[in-house]
Amino acid sequence: MKIKGVSYDAGRVMGTNWRPEFNPRVVIREFEIIKNDLHCNAVRICGRDIKRLIFAAREALKQGFDVWLSPEMWDNGMYETYSYIKKTAEAAEMLRLQWPDKLVFVVGSELTLFMRGIVPGKRFLDRLKNPGLWENVKAGKHNEPLGKFLSRTVEGVRKVFHGKVTYASLIWENVDWNIFDIIGVDHYWDDRIKERYVDMLAPFSSFKKPVVITEFGFRTFTGADKAGATGLGNADYFSLFLHSLPMIGRFFRPRVKIIHGRDEALQAHSLTEQLKILDSAGVEGGFIMTFVSPIYPYDDEPQYDLDRDNFSLVKSFPAGKRGETYPDMPWEPKQAFYSVAEYYKK
């Protein structure tokens, strides 16, 4: 694969900000580690705040990365989402002028589920739990409104951003890839589709464009190799909410609903195997989900170890604790970090 990438969360927002603290020094240092030790040559920078996105993109570009800039304003309507994406594209053009051919703009990700107005439901979880969702999807009812939104959005983005444009699609979204420069698809491996995983990518070859897996990965519990991206939500969200409250939050520890066995070795092995599969499938590259997830910290006590339900390559620590491998960082690499680094180094 030419693109050896990892996703980098600059502050996705759903319910709470997934990157509560955005420390510029930490961001710059993490990019140094991603480049020199994880051996990535590309980062997909995701988040909502435009200033954060542009800062992170600029620092990554300075360090020589190919940057896929992915503004994400989840749970808003089509008009608000369009305006936000176009505004971010205007800001991204200033970076593209400095680093031609190093910046790809991602106009959205999995919008059928993450944006209001394509399938019923005000919020993401409402849409996901809607009894009629999968009947609508099987009937393809989501494709027409999604297609119209993407067409209008790409047209608007290209007026202000003059680099390559793509979209991070769900495997079952029927996207008109003729309007994009690169085909992007979030494609997780799981037990249900293991025999069809590569075959599901075959239809994209007809467009004669690079195919990039914009999101894939495994969590850190026993059985994660079979679950793929399904079964999310093992964190006790009420405890997370209490923990996020000013002043009193420190008295509440986030906890899990169900205690799964922790299995870093399985996550590491599964990622290596999927990288081999993608290499053999001939895709242009991919972005592992994800480098770090601060709101899902590691804990020695299983009932508080949110990191087990986490895709990240490093395990975050509660505020004030530092890692051993990188004493200036509030996290420690998992086994998956080293297995991915070994594979990307080739």
Residue 231 tokens read as 């079964």
Q: Return the amino acid letter for 2.
A: K
Q: Is the pTM of this model over 0.85?
A: yes
Cis bond before residue 166 (omega within 30° of 0): no
| Angstrom distance (rounded) from CA 8 to CA 59 | 13
**pLDDT tens digits, residue range 7-21?**
999 999 988 899 999
Mean pLDDT of the chain: 94
Comparing CA positions, the residue from 334, 320, 285 lying closest to residue 7 is: 285
Using CB atoms within 10 A of its CB, is residue 279 exposed (0-12), middle (13-18) or buried (19+)?
Answer: middle
The per-residue b/e assignment along 323-338, b for 16 or more CB within 10 angstroms, e otherwise, is beebeebbbbbbbbbb
Which domains does the chain carry? 3-344 (3.20.20.80)
Give the pLDDT confidence score for residue 240 in this predicted structure: 77
**pLDDT tens digits, residue range 322-345?**
999 999 999 999 999 999 999 999
273 close to 340: Cβ distance less than 8 angstroms: no
What 8-state DSSP symbol labels residue 216? E
Read off the pLDDT band of 231 (50, 70, 90).
low
232 pLDDT more than 80: no
**pLDDT tens digits, residue range 164-177?**
999 999 999 999 99
